[in-house]
Structure 1
Amino acid sequence: PRLAPHLLARQARLRPDKIAVDDLTHRLGYADLDGAAGRWAGLLAARGVRRGDVVGVCLRPGAAALAVLYGVWRAGAAYLPLDPAYPPERLAFMARDAGAVAVVAQPDAPDELRQAVGRVIDGDRAPTEPAGFPAVAVTPNDTAYLIYTSGSTGRPKGVAVSHGALANLLDGMARTTGARQQDMMMSTSAWSFDMSVPELFLPAAVGASVVVAPRAAVSDGIEMLRLIRRTGTTWMQATPSAWRMLLDAGLERGEVSTAICGAERMPVPLAADLLATAETVWNFYGPTETAVWATAARVTEPEHARLIGRPLPGVTVAVLTAQGLPVPRGAIGELRVGGHGVAQGYHDRPTLTAERFPPDPHRPGGRVYRTGDLVRLRADGEYEFAGRADDQMKVRGYRIEPGEVEDAVLGSGTVRSVAVVTLAGQESSSLVAYLVPGDGFDVGELRALLRDRLPGQMVPTLVTIAALPRLPNGKVDRRALSARAVTGPSAGVAFAPAEGPREEAFAALWSEVLGVTRVGRHDNFFALGGDSMRALRIAQRAAGQGLTIEPADVFTYQTVAELASAAGRPGTWEETPPPQAQVSAADLRKVRALRARATQGE
């Protein structure tokens, strides 16, 4: 397969004027995108970037930022996505750990990041170098990108993916899903999340166009539906919770032709609803270490949601025991992935790389990845997911190692012991830290510390407990913790009623959505039974009352008081609060009209 940098150059020759990327503010044709990439490559080369280097990219997603990614490749380097929403310390750690020689960043990039890297290039100023910078020749073995995932030792680890593995992914996805140049694709994933990779680069593989959704729209089902209709999106991949958000917002049959679900288990009810909406439904599976996706299942019946399907072209899989021996067909074993899609390993972590990427016995010089996922091979040749062999978790599509979160909690110095688990809600999972408090413990201070150290998806609900349950061998009984009901007030906080109109409005919304009779200003959304889908409903219903929040805000500001303080609002809201809107999933379109009238001053 052609390497991704070559795909852009090819489309620039074949379809120079066709729209390559549109972020609703800027639109670039293939020739324009190729020219912008050349100018960025020339600037990076002038700043000392050479083949094999790593360049950090800390920019808001958009057309101009995509040109930077292609420019990094044209300069012969690998890109390191740095989410501007991440805590500054984490951004600085990733840049240092990756050995980034430069960072293309927004003007408001944190000082910690600037101090971690010697060269910081202003990403808001388009370079003036000539567009015809000759591309540095890269091979399939050169690194294309470095994406960091949660680390079990408390330290994030960078996964290095080669151009060859990326090319195999794009070719395999195009052939499997039947993507074509007439498609309008939608990119909704954060660029630090590996699901963004095919969203951004598959279009150039087939000559299609991509719309980069604004961040505010991604977490708002109504806005996303409006965007899909406005742009004529035909091809889209998303997590199960994002698809559910769109369906609740009123996604209708035929509005999206190809629906790809991945990163978490697909619920059977979701599969049924997508089958009634999209022409083609897929369930994709794959860890970051296998270049995003390794297998795909065509979903034609709701029960197929349990399947992860068959390997993509160029990928091999095997189901083995912990000792590496084959298991009988139908028996459960660990899935190992081989072939051309396997990552190069963990950056600067040779011991861990050797452990997780053993030699491929069927491919001299190749390696396989031990996924830690348990699967079974069915009689019909389809693979079925059966769980994890360790404590690794998935929350909102993000892979989370509990050890990293536990280290952050213990780092406060006010917690004696802690165990982090996931609790399964009706429609999605949430992250909970059961902790034994020590001297000086304050839940508010601990939550603020975690927000400063961890990405939003890794900040857990805090629940105090007298002692952690133990197994006979002395280990923490995580299964017992996961089975506990968390339906009380926040850890260590006495009940206090909501104060002021905004807090009262949020308390009423929480009571309605969560089905609890009393909600205090310090009560925790997840401790009361909240989950990802309920966070989406809170945001959607708040919009009908003139309160502007994103579902992600509920994960960051988990109490009524915190969320009310963080919520945006019209300037006169507190003086003249509108009546509470009762907006059901079927009536969510009415909220659009409310927003339009508010915007027009009606």
Structure 2
Amino acid sequence: MTTPTVLGRWADSLARDGSRCAVKSGDREVGYRELAGRVAGYQAVFEAIGRPDDPVLLSCADPVEVIAAVLGCMAAGRTFAPVDPRLPAAVLDGVLDALRPGVVVADAGGREALAGRELPDGAGLVSPETVESGAWSAEAWQRAAPEDRGYVYFTSGTTGRPKGIRGSLRAVHHFVDWEIAEFGIGEGTKVSQLTSPGFDAFLRDAFTPLCAGGTVCVNPAGGAPVGEGLARWLTEHEVEVLHCVPTLFRTLRSAALTPASFPALRAVLLAGEQLHPADVAWWRGLFGDGKELVNLYGPSETTMTKLFHRTTAEDARARLVPVGRPLPGVAVRVLTGPGDAPDALGEVELEVPFPLLGYLGEEEWRGTAGSYRTGDLGRFRPDGALELYGRRDQQVKVHGVRIDLGEVENALRGHPGVADVCAAAVTEDGSTALVAYVVAPDVADAELRAHAARRLAPGLVPSVFVRMAAIPRTLNGKVERRSLPRVAVRRTAEATEPPQGPEETRIAAIWTEILGLAGINRDDDFTLLGGDSLAIARLMDRVRYEYQVDLPLRAFLQDPTVAGLASAVTDRLARSGS
């Protein structure tokens, strides 16, 4: 009899038909049997190295290796902790110190990041290239009942060091079981995998299809394609279920979509940040009821999605798109005061049917062993659906990345020229930017961005800096946020040398649109102006669209300025004879 676990359900799929494609990445196809060999190899490694209680740190870019290693940890009864190998050195140091792993699995990128770092005493370093595929038995995995030592995912923390969120495999199975049933995911269903291994949503994207006998569709170039590139990828891979954040979803508006686009796609599941009524109106205007748009909500502390809402035509005209109703077994409460109306605003609390394991170390847990106070403000609509109204504390989400403002502030305070700082998320016309209010009269914006980029994970570097003579504070010394000046997300950049010639002017206009900055200069660095990996992908997509040239990413990264990009485009056009 199959054990009701992620490992057992995946083994069921393996036993039914091991010849099917488990992971598709461009022209590369990894079958269920091939994946099983990798899982068996990792299981043998994890059973041979270290103690069962020692966690396993996974720092690999290849999602196939991450998936195989995670399943290997499940089979061996080991805690796993995936991280993005592109983490800044300071963040990685914090992860190693908090986790104290007994085994580290690192590919080339992961090993480069670890170079010169001292691993905990006795920790073994394993390269995926040295892990040999092993003999396996689907029946053994189906019947296996290893101890549930769960996983750890790291997010930003108020102290400036990474916060480790602990989760159970029962929680992962609860979600996977629900999504498979709710959206009819079965044998052969193709589901997108566009999430970094360092986010818990990676488990959703990988194991929902694998536990149903489906296929995980991965972008071979790494990262998430955007705009026309995303549209082309969805079409070519015949993706049926798309998981992504609303920011990535919105880039499809730059693609030339028609009601006949994406014939295989039947559902888009969005999570990580607010979904706007305008998003629903645009999507339904193209596809009506033919391709579902679903709003998901759930903090990492309670393992991925805990509420969902299938959007309707009414949502396109509403003030807010609700996050909906809870999954089976989940209870939602809005904590209000005595005598408050039923629809009063209060903090959202979630109660789940599996153990909540809290944080690594001494971090305070906002709840009980089965409940969690999210810090999000919400209220129930008359029809029972939950609406969200922002954060109760300093945690915000920008482009789907959860950010603790205290971590951003601590990083900037580390610069000797910064006397004081306050970070905030500012929303304007549906676009949210991370803003730093700083008292730093002698430090340029570019220097502050470079300083922050060396200490913060991608997505946590402010895109706008506002100069202050002093940060407004209350009598007890707390920041008086209501007194912070309102700032336009679309700000004016520091004036130096303006773009020269038609191509630089045209490139600068594209930057202005993507970054929301006026006064772009010819020597401005795209990344130092706040251009993250998603913005870079959008930029390259626009260049392909505007100039009809396929410019390699490395050509841009060699000189990520307006002048450099214009020169690279002009050179590519000359060579192509355009």
TM-score range normalised by the length of the shorter chain? 0.7 to 0.9
Q: Which of residues 22, 27, 48 in structure 2 aligns to 1:20?
A: 22
User: Is the CA contact (8 Å cut-off) linking 2:106 and 2:127 kept in structure 1?
Assistant: yes
Indicate whether 1:169 and 2:175 are aligned.
yes
Cα distance per residue 1:496-520 (max 9 Å; x no partner): 3347998666434335667877422
User: Is the CA contact (8 Å cut-off) linking 2:225 and 2:233 kept in structure 1?
Assistant: no
Aligned equivalents of 1:423, 1:326: Cα separation in 2: 33
Distance of aligned partners of 1:210 and 1:464 in 2 relative to their CA distance in 1, 3 Å threshold: same
Q: Which of residues 142, 148, 155 in structure 1 aligns to 2:154?
A: 148
Aligned equivalents of 1:326, 1:46: Cα separation in 2: 60
Indicate whether 1:296 and 2:308 are aligned.
yes
Cα distance per residue 1:87-145 (max 9 Å; x no partner): 12212321331121111101342235752343211123442544459669976972322
Q: Which of residues 455, 458, 463 in structure 2 aligns to 1:456?
A: 458
Unaligned runs of at least 5 residues, structure 2: none
Shift of residue 420 of structure 1?
0.6
Aligned equivalents of 1:52, 1:137: Cα separation in 2: 22
Q: Which of residues 211, 218, 224 in structure 1 aligns to 2:224?
A: 218
1:62-211 equivalent positions in 2, closer than 5 A: 62-108=63-109, 109=111, 110-112=113-115, 114-117=117-120, 118-131=123-136, 142-211=148-217
More deviation in 73-82 or 260-269? 73-82
Q: Which of residues 540, 561, 568 in structure 2 aligns to 1:564?
A: 561
User: Is the CA contact (8 Å cut-off) linking 2:323 and 2:386 kept in structure 1?
Assistant: yes
Aligned equivalents of 2:530, 2:70: Cα separation in 1: 40
Distance of aligned partners of 1:394 and 1:138 in 2 relative to their CA distance in 1, 3 Å threshold: farther
User: Is the CA contact (8 Å cut-off) linking 2:81 and 2:153 kept in structure 1?
Assistant: yes
More deviation in 455-464 or 135-144? 135-144
Distance of aligned partners of 1:25 and 1:90 in 2 relative to their CA distance in 1, 3 Å threshold: farther
Cα distance per residue 1:393-429 (max 9 Å; x no partner): 1011011011000000001121000011112143421
Distance of aligned partners of 1:178 and 1:137 in 2 relative to their CA distance in 1, 3 Å threshold: closer
Cα distance per residue 1:178-212 (max 9 Å; x no partner): 32334210111111122222101111232211112
Aligned equivalents of 2:460, 2:530: Cα separation in 1: 18
Shift of residue 529 of structure 1?
11
Q: Tell me what 1:594 maps to.
A: none
Does the residue aligned with 1:146 lie in a helix, a strand or coil?
strand
Distance of aligned partners of 1:294 and 1:89 in 2 relative to their CA distance in 1, 3 Å threshold: same
TM-score (norm 2): 0.86
Distance of aligned partners of 1:268 and 1:145 in 2 relative to their CA distance in 1, 3 Å threshold: same
Does the residue aligned with 2:454 lie in a helix, a strand or coil?
helix
Indicate whether 1:261 and 2:270 are aligned.
yes
Distance of aligned partners of 1:458 and 1:390 in 2 relative to their CA distance in 1, 3 Å threshold: same
Matched to 1:186, the amino acid is: S
Distance of aligned partners of 1:515 and 1:419 in 2 relative to their CA distance in 1, 3 Å threshold: closer
Shift of residue 532 of structure 1?
9.9
Q: Tell me what 1:378 maps to.
A: 381
1:281-292 equivalent positions in 2, closer than 5 A: 281-292=293-304
Matched to 2:268, the amino acid is: A
Aligned equivalents of 1:454, 1:155: Cα separation in 2: 10
Distance of aligned partners of 1:387 and 1:318 in 2 relative to their CA distance in 1, 3 Å threshold: same
Distance of aligned partners of 1:55 and 1:478 in 2 relative to their CA distance in 1, 3 Å threshold: same
Q: Tell me what 1:582 maps to.
A: none
Matched to 1:20, the amino acid is: A
1:220-235 equivalent positions in 2, closer than 5 A: 220-235=226-241
Matched to 2:175, the amino acid is: L
More deviation in 138-147 or 285-294? 138-147
More deviation in 131-140 or 255-264? 131-140
Q: Tell me what 1:338 maps to.
A: 351
User: Is the CA contact (8 Å cut-off) linking 1:139 and 1:164 kept in structure 2?
Assistant: no
Distance of aligned partners of 1:384 and 1:515 in 2 relative to their CA distance in 1, 3 Å threshold: closer
Aligned equivalents of 2:477, 2:127: Cα separation in 1: 53
Q: How many residues align?
A: 559
Aligned equivalents of 1:173, 1:12: Cα separation in 2: 19
Cα distance per residue 1:449-480 (max 9 Å; x no partner): 21111112001133322222345665323344
Distance of aligned partners of 1:381 and 1:124 in 2 relative to their CA distance in 1, 3 Å threshold: same
Aligned equivalents of 1:22, 1:464: Cα separation in 2: 48
Distance of aligned partners of 1:24 and 1:162 in 2 relative to their CA distance in 1, 3 Å threshold: same
Does the residue aligned with 1:218 lie in a helix, a strand or coil?
coil
Matched to 1:300, the amino acid is: T
Aligned equivalents of 2:256, 2:323: Cα separation in 1: 27
Does the residue aligned with 1:51 lie in a helix, a strand or coil?
coil
Q: Tell me what 1:34 maps to.
A: 36
Q: Which of residues 318, 321, 326 in structure 2 aligns to 1:306?
A: 321
Indicate whether 1:423 and 2:426 are aligned.
yes
Shift of residue 494 of structure 1?
5.0
Distance of aligned partners of 1:527 and 1:449 in 2 relative to their CA distance in 1, 3 Å threshold: closer
Q: Tell me what 1:587 maps to.
A: none
User: Is the CA contact (8 Å cut-off) linking 2:84 and 2:197 kept in structure 1?
Assistant: yes
Indicate whether 1:573 and 2:575 are aligned.
no
